[in-house]
């Protein structure tokens, strides 16, 4: 009976790529916080099983960003993938476990009345951006022989559906939704 109660180990994912102390939400989804978080170790080993990166589609100029919201620093969505490529290229383990997880939270453009924008073209553009981020992460993982899983997540079901609908035929690293 006890065998039926086995649970998989918990994963520790660095939320908003901002896990270095002192806690400062203003640094969520910034390149500096990502670098500092990836550098955290305990006894010479990484403390995380993965990291969460947010993408935000800015409808005003059709730009995909690495940002927690539109009120904070806004960096092109592909910029953190370069940091991740450097991290995957380092010697030794990159995560606490054998598999490293990159969770990409897809943020929706929100209108003035605080509702999600469901414009099909914007959803498709954000989905394209998500797959570009995936491809850059996948290329770095494969080039460095790293076991990496990409997890796409979104509060807007239409946005997640657009990403799923745009799934490419070839997936060099595992994807979860």
Q: What is the mean pLDDT of each run of 10 residues along the chain (177 residues)?
A: 64 95 92 97 94 90 87 87 98 94 87 63 94 98 98 94 96 97
Do the Cβ atoms of 18 and 24 come closer than 8 Å? Answer: yes
Q: How far apart, in whole angstroms, are the C-alpha atoms of residue 51 and residue 37?
A: 9
CA nearest 127: which of 98, 87, 97, 157?
A: 157
pLDDT at 118 (0 to 100): 66
Do the Cβ atoms of 69 and 29 come closer than 8 Å? Answer: no
pLDDT at 36 (0 to 100): 97
Helices (H), 44-119: 79-89
Burial of 102 (0-12, 13-18, 19+ CB in 10 A): buried
pLDDT at 115 (0 to 100): 55
* Helical pair 79-89 and 31-38, crossing angle rounded to 10 deg: 20
pLDDT at 89 (0 to 100): 98
Query: Around Cβ 83, how many Cβ atoms within 10 Å?
Result: 19
pTM of the model: 0.90
Q: How far apart, in whole angstroms, are the C-alpha atoms of residue 102 and residue 53?
A: 7
pLDDT at 72 (0 to 100): 72
Cα 89 to chain centroid, rounded? 18
pLDDT at 4 (0 to 100): 58
Do the Cβ atoms of 40 and 47 come closer than 8 Å? Answer: yes
């Amino acid at each position: 009976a006890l065998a039926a109660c086995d649970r998989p180990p918990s994963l520790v994912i660095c939320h908003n790529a901002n896990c270095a102390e002192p806690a400062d939400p203003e640094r969520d989804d910034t390149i500096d916080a990502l670098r500092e978080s990836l550098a955290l170790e305990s006894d010479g080993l990484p403390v995380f099983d993965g990291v969460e990166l947010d993408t935000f589609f800015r409808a005003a100029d059709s730009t995909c960003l690495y940002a927690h919201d539109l009120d904070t620093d806004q960096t092109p969505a592909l910029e953190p993938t370069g940091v991740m490529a450097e991290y995957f290229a380092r010697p030794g383990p990159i995560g606490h476990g054998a598999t490293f997880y990159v969770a990409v939270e897809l943020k929706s453009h929100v209108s003035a009345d605080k509702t999600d924008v469901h414009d099909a073209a914007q959803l498709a553009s954000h989905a394209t951006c998500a797959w570009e981020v995936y491809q850059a992460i996948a290329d770095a993982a494969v080039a460095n022989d790293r076991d990496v899983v990409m997890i796409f997540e979104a509060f807007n079901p239409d946005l997640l559906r657009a990403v799923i609908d745009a799934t490419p035929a070839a997936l060099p690293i595992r994807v979860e939704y």
